[in-house]
Every structure is written in structure tokens, then in C-alpha cells.
Amino acid sequence: MTRKEELKKFNQLIQELKKVALKLNQMSDLVPSIKRNSDRVLASIRMMELNISDLVQVVKQGYPHEK
Amino acid sequence: MPQEREYWNPFMETLPEDEIRSLQLKKFRRIFQWAYDHSRFHRNLYEKAGIRPEDIRSLDDIRHVPTVEKSMMRDIQRKDPFPYGDALCVPLEEVTEFRQTSGTTGQPVYQPDTWVDWEWWSECWAYILWAQGYRPSDRVFIPFGYNVFVAFWAGHYAAEKIGCEVVPGGVLDTKARILKIQELKPTAMMATPTYVLAMADTARNKMGIEPSTLGIQKITCAGEPGASIPSTKRRMEEAWGARVYDHAGATEIGAWSYECKAQPRGLHVNEGFFLVEIIDLETGEPIEEPGRQGKLVITAFDRLAQPCVRFDSKDIIQWSDERCSCGRTFRLIKGGVVGRTDDITKVKGVLLAPSAIEEVVRSIDGLSDEYEVVVDKKGDTDRITLKVELLPGHESDKERIEALLQDQLRLKTNLGYHLEFHEYGTLPRYEVKARRFKDLRKNH
């Protein structure tokens, strides 16, 4: 797998995770234990987005030796 | 992807330069739009300057964005929404963290953070600690009383995030902290350079314990430039038998740079999370070439509650022309933060940086770690008094040390000094940040 493909795969899983966490968060207004814990999960997911998702568009292809 | 786990984020930390710059432009545009849309303070500032988010098309365009100074933040705070004022970008109920600056240069500035911001703080620190060799097997001792200041809170959270075991060493005196280290055998420690040396002095001279036998393998410093001053770094490393690493950060900014295990005589800028610009002090033009000092203007790309967009930090830095052997592509600033525009002062017409005096004092065997610099006037002429202590057993060597000190100071700072030798143990000792430089001319 090239670097770009790896990043895309990571990002795909992060977005799936986010979708589930958001759904939990949105349906838990009356359940603070889920609401507040899913807020924290979303904050951690945000860190994964900063580390991975932000790079997907800027990374061109593989490492120089993979080109 | 490289197989080794040398990097906290191997994708980010090895990005080719053109991709780093693309990422920075993309992220600057995002935070600028955020500040423009959510902060009345920033919007007013940008409207007055006639600049809008769509005007940022290249990294060069960023230079037209007005800088923000600490004094501007002081002016807007303590107002609604209390206590942060107009720069707050989120509803107050989303703020989970309060910190404030130390007030060294005036009234403290309050810093709100959401939980996402706080995760981001510890993420920045995770880059630092991983680069310095912290791993889940480490037990980390933090001999510091955390409070309203940000110091070491984020280091603590980041160490936990990495998987280290963290021992909070607040509310203990220095002797009790040494005993706790002896009892628990931590492998790493975080402290200010002043306190790293003070702990070693206490262990050795008041408790008869050689600090290098305590098992600390690495020390991360913050709060002062000492870990990037070679002679101070050497003293700390020799005393503790440990590798000592620097990092730079600030309450209003975040932890923006770090030394790695290769100790490249400089700090890597975390260019995935921050945009560092070095600005010529006189012309205001950006400095791209290595070796020319200027002031740091910095943007934190991902901090949302109170954004940091082109913040004029007043730190003096310079780019290094070296590439680090660690393989990170993040650029290095040479010698860390070498001073602050507030501290660098003209004495007898010559620019004096207090860190240059520290480098000389700590390079001379026979002098203790403590010193004090007082600048005043004798008649119409500036006078610098340097107070130092001889270590016990070096009294007979005073004449040689005095001559060496005077020579080295002249060589490194181009200035002559009035030297005062004080009895060992009589100069002030500090537990956190030292205040060793006093300019009494400002009182005239």
C-alpha cells in the first residue's frame, strides 16, 4: 500500500467511527453519561482527524521510493 | 510507511516540504475563517485591516493578516462573556479549562479551552514526549505544583495518553520529592531547568544523595531556555546522569516545538500544528534564511475557544540550516528560544541577552548554578553587576575564575562587568522560574 492509500484507509475508518459517535451523541440528550462520554470520544476522534484526515488531500502519492 | 516507531505520527513528521506548506496553507485558511466567523475581536481587527478569509490564497498572503499582541488580549478580557471577552469563539458552557499566563510581563491573560482544545494540548505534548523517547514503560515524576498556570498539566495528560505511569509530585518540598524519586524509581522527569539544578543541589549537598544514582534517564524542561543553553544542559545532564531535552510553548499558543532524541542543538517546530514565522525586528519583513534572528509570530491551527492567529510572542528565534538525523522533516530553530524582545536590552549601547551570561557562568567549573545580574546607572553610565557563588572547595581558585569569567563575558557579550563573589548558598534559590535579571535603570 502506498502512503496515500494507507492514509485513505485510516481516514475511512476514522469517519466511520465519527459517524457512530455522532449518532450516539445526538440521541443521548437525556442520558448525560452517554452524552458527555461521547463528547470525549469525539474529541479523540478530532485528534485522529488532525493527525490523518487533514493529510489525505495534501499528500500526493507514495514515499519517494514508491513513486 | 517507515516501520520503526520513532515518530508519534510518521505520516505527519516525515512529510516532504511542499506537502507541509500545502497543509499549512489549508489549515491557516481554516483557523482564519473560524476566528473571523466566531470572534468579534478578530473580526474587528481584520475588517479594520481590510482583509477577509477569501484573500488568503497563498502563504505569502498571510503576511497581510494583522498580528495580535498580549496587550490586546489584556484589553478585551474581564468583560462579557466574563472573564474572556470578545475573543471567545464558543459558548461559555463549552469551556472546560481555565489557565492564565504567569504575568511576568504584566497583567495575566486568561486562556479558555474546550475539551477538544485540551485534547489538542496533550496531543502537541505527545509529539514532544514521544520524540524524546517516552514510552509506556516509563514512570514519569512531575515535581511541580500544578495550578492556574498551564505548566506541566499538558505534559501530565500527554504522558498518560502515551501510556506512561505518571506520578504527580506537587505539594511536596524538595527533599520529600527526592525521597519519592528514591522510593518509586521513576525513569523520567519534567521540570524547569532552575528546579532541575536546585533538586540536584539539594540531593547532593543537603541529603548526601548523588542524583545520578536515582535512575532518572530523561528530563523534559519547560518554562526557561536553560535546556537549550549548552552549559546549563551539560550541568543538568551530568548531575542527573540523564538526557535533558528542551521544548518551547506558551499558554496563549500551545507547545509548538521540541527537541528530539538526536539532540540537534535546536528544536523541531511542529509544523503540522503550527505556523512559525520569524519577523525581522526592524523591517518587519519575514526571515526565511538560517542564522538571522527575529521575533516569533505564530499561529496555532487547531485551537478553537480562543484562537491564536499570528500571535506576536516576542520570543527571539532563528532558523537552523541543519537537517536533523532523526528523519523528521519539521524545520529546526537553532538553539531554541534565545531570548525575548522584552529581555534583550541595550547596555552601554550594546544589545545584551541574559541567556548569554548564563551560558558563560554555567560553563565555568567552580561556580555554583546560581547567579544574578543587576543593571543600574553609575552616574550617567550603565553598569552591570554580576553576582556569582564559588562552590565550596574552590575558594583558593577565585582569582583564576574571576579572570576567566571576565574574559568570557567580554568575548560572548562585548561588555565589561562588575563582579561580586558571594558565599555559597546566599544568592536566591528558585523553585520554578528564576528571576535573575534586574534592570534598575527603568526605575530612574
Reading the block at residue B349, the C-alpha cell is: 549601547
pLDDT at B340: 81
CA distance B157 to B135: 14
- A58 vs B115: CB contact, 8 Å cut-off? no
Residue A64's pLDDT band, with cuts at 50, 70 and 90, is low
pLDDT at B106: 72
Q: Which chain A positions have a beta carbon within 8 Å of B31's beta carbon?
A: none
Q: Are B73 and B252 in contact (CB under 8 A)?
A: yes
Q: Which chain A positions have a beta carbon within 8 Å of B19's beta carbon?
A: 55, 58-60
Q: How many CB pairs under 8 A join A and B?
A: 49
B251-288 pLDDT per residue, tens: 999 999 999 999 999 999 999 999 999 999 889 999 99
- β partners of residue B352: B345
Of A43, A54, A60, the CB nearest to B119: A43
Asked if pLDDT for residue B444 goes beyond 50, the answer is: no
Q: Are B233 and B244 in contact (CB under 8 A)?
A: yes
Q: Which chain B positions have a beta carbon within 8 Å of A2's beta carbon?
A: none
Asked if pLDDT for residue A62 goes beyond 70, the answer is: no
Q: Is A29 exposed, middle or buried (0-12, 13-18, 19+ CB in 10 A)?
A: exposed
What is the residue type of B97?
A: E
pLDDT at A63: 60
Asked if pLDDT for residue B422 goes beyond 50, the answer is: yes
Interface test with A, best of B11, B27, B90, B124 (most A CBs within 10 A): B11
- Tell me the mean pLDDT in the region A26-34: 97
- Tell me the mean pLDDT in the region A24-45: 97
Q: Which chain B positions have a beta carbon within 8 Å of A59's beta carbon?
A: 11, 15, 19
Q: Which chain B positions have a beta carbon within 8 Å of A3's beta carbon?
A: 1, 11
> Strand, helix or coil at B369?
strand
Which residue in chain A is spatially nearest to B114 when comparing CA positions?
Answer: A43
| Cα of A23 to nearest chain B Cα, Å | 18
- Tell me the mean pLDDT in the region B8-21: 96
Which residue in chain A is spatially nearest to B270 when comparing CA positions?
Answer: A51
| Cα of B11 to nearest chain A Cα, Å | 8
CA distance B102 to B190: 18
Max avg pLDDT among A46-55, B337-346, B368-377? A46-55
Reading the block at residue B329, the C-alpha cell is: 522533516
pLDDT at B92: 96
> Strand, helix or coil at B121?
helix
| Cα of A21 to nearest chain B Cα, Å | 15
DSSP-derived letter for residue A51 is: I
CA distance B349 to B133: 44
Whether the CB of A66 is below 8 Å from some CB of chain B: the reply is no
Asked if pLDDT for residue A67 goes beyond 50, the answer is: no
- A54 vs B9: CB contact, 8 Å cut-off? no
Q: Which chain A positions have a beta carbon within 8 Å of B115's beta carbon?
A: 39-40, 43
B132-183 pLDDT per residue, tens: 999 999 999 999 988 898 889 999 999 999 999 999 999 899 999 999 999 9
Which string of DSSP letters, residue by residue, matches B380-438?
Answer: TEEEEEEEEEEPTT-GGGHHHHHHHHHHHHHHHHS---EEEEE-TT-S---SSS---EE
B236-256 pLDDT per residue, tens: 999 999 999 999 999 999 999
- A6 vs B1: CB contact, 8 Å cut-off? yes
Mean pLDDT (chain B) is 93
Q: Give the lowest-confidence range in A4-18, A49-63, B36-50.
A: A49-63
ipTM of the complex: 0.94
Per cent of chain B over pLDDT 70 is: 98
Whether the CB of A44 is below 8 Å from some CB of chain B: the reply is yes
CA distance A23 to B398: 73
